[in-house]
Amino acid sequence: MTSRRAVLKSGRIWCSGPCCSRGSAPKSGRTSHRIGGMSRVTGAGGRPPGSGGIANPFSALRPPMSFDALAPYYRWMEMMLAGGALHRCRTAFLDEIPRPERILLLGEGHGRSLVEFCRRFPAAQITCVDASEPMLTQARRHLARQHLPAHQVEFIRADVLDWTPPPGGYDLVATHFFLDCFRPGQLERMTPKIAASLQPRGIWLIADFQAPTGGWRGLRSRLILGLLYVFFRRVTRLPARTLTPPDSLVAQTGLALQRRITIEWGLLHSDWWQKPVA
Ligand SMILES: C[S@@+](CC[C@H](N)C(=O)[O-])C[C@H]1O[C@@H](n2cnc3c(N)ncnc32)[C@H](O)[C@@H]1O
């Protein structure tokens, strides 16, 4: 699939692929939508490829997913609604993992993980990918506010469903509060690409929501998750309707779960997955 992306590096805008200002004609009956200045190609009928289910003839009319409008408020929303809980999950293993040299942050959003990685691993090269230009702007501002240099970071605006990271290019990937955006079919397409981007012994950190089964914890989590999905689907037009646990898909790629912590009565978890030696 044609990949179009604008790459922002050290304050300069780069274009790669057949980009950027004018879209080329969609191929083979596919339709192309704009996402934050980037094209996203969907399957016939406007359905994202691999999303599963029956094609909805009206979904082509639905504007594409975008976190742009939320970007300026995202940090405050998180602080008001979750305090430090999400950030505890993002940073859970950073003091224990082997020092990474090449880090990939997918769906990084407003840059809270980015700042932590820059602080702790100043010699690492970091690739920070997000579909939302305003989110990437927030991430750059967050770095600047913390007086951290941007030279170790490459910012890439891209739809991760269409973007393929270089195979074996990283020794650490983080997908924090990102996999919950996707439907099962989309996760099925995405997880092998992410796993392939890791070197042997590479680490995949996943912080996200989960729904414990049974009891009052399960009820509480399902209630909170239900409200979150209603909100995010309305405001960002998120493709996912419910949470899909990614565990079995990640395990299918050959990675093994090394550590998991859960907090907030099982609502949040942080995982350390690792690729085998060969
Ligand atoms: C819920 S926010 C999480 C942000 C951040 N990782 C965090 O820890 O809070 C999801 C982020 O993923 C981005 N995103 C959603 N779908 C995407 C896609 N298909 N490709 C790239 N980024 C995407 C959104 O723009 C948004 O910044």
- Residue at which a domain ends, from 41, 61, 81: 61
Decide: helix, strand or coil at residue 118: helix
- Residue at which a domain ends, from 33, 61, 89: 61
**Minimal-distance CA residue to ligand 1 atom 13:** 107
The reply to whether 96 and 141 lie within a common domain is yes
The reply to whether 120 and 55 lie within a common domain is no
Distance separating alpha carbons of residues 27 and 185, to the nearest angstrom: 22
Q: What are phi and psi of 73, to 5 degrees?
A: -105, -5
How wide is the angle at C-alpha 240 spanned by C-alphas 136 and 26, nearest 5°? 70
The reply to whether 162 and 250 lie within a common domain is yes
The confidence score (pLDDT) of residue 62 equals 60
CATH number where 81 lies:
3.40.50.150
The reply to whether 42 and 143 lie within a common domain is no
- From 88, 115, 130, mutation site for ligand 1 pocket: most ligand atoms within 8 A of C-beta: 130
The reply to whether 183 and 57 lie within a common domain is no
The confidence score (pLDDT) of residue 42 equals 30
Q: Where are the alpha helices (DSSP H) in 197-236?
A: 215-236
**CA 66 / ligand 1 centre spacing (Å):** 9
| Number of domain units in the chain | 2
The confidence score (pLDDT) of residue 133 equals 97
The confidence score (pLDDT) of residue 107 equals 98
The reply to whether 51 and 138 lie within a common domain is no
The confidence score (pLDDT) of residue 64 equals 86
Distance separating alpha carbons of residues 210 and 218, to the nearest angstrom: 9
Token output for 28: 């083979």
- CA 223 to the chain's CA centroid: 23
Token output for 140: 């750059």
Decide: helix, strand or coil at residue 201: strand
The reply to whether 129 and 43 lie within a common domain is no
The reply to whether 16 and 141 lie within a common domain is no
Cβ atoms 3, 17 nearer than 8 A:
yes
Contacting residues for 73 by C-beta, under 8 A, at least 6 apart: none
pLDDT digits (tens, 9 = 90+) for 131-188: 999 999 999 999 999 999 999 999 999 999 999 999 999 999 999 999 999 999 999 9
Distance separating alpha carbons of residues 153 and 125, to the nearest angstrom: 6
Question: Which DSSP string corresponds to 148-176?
Answer: --STTEEEEE--TTT--PPTT-EEEEEEE
The reply to whether 57 and 113 lie within a common domain is no
Any ligand 1 atom below 6 A from CB of 182? no
The reply to whether 16 and 130 lie within a common domain is no
Any ligand 1 atom below 6 A from CB of 160? yes
Residue count (the chain): 278
**CA 147 / ligand 1 centre spacing (Å):** 24
Contacting residues for 218 by C-beta, under 8 A, at least 6 apart: 211, 212, 266
The reply to whether 49 and 93 lie within a common domain is no
Cβ atoms 196, 203 nearer than 8 A:
no
What is the extent of the structural domain holding 79? 68-274
- Per-residue pLDDT tens, the chain, 278 aa: give them: 333 343 333 332 233 332 333 233 333 333 333 333 333 323 223 333 333 334 445 445 566 899 999 999 999 999 999 999 999 999 999 999 999 999 999 999 999 999 999 999 999 999 999 999 999 999 999 999 999 999 999 999 999 999 999 999 999 999 999 999 999 999 999 999 999 999 999 999 999 999 988 899 999 999 999 999 999 999 999 999 999 999 999 999 999 999 999 999 999 999 999 999 97
Cβ atoms 110, 139 nearer than 8 A:
yes
Decide: helix, strand or coil at residue 257: strand
The confidence score (pLDDT) of residue 30 equals 33
The reply to whether 84 and 37 lie within a common domain is no
Cis? peptide before 89, omega within 30° of 0: no
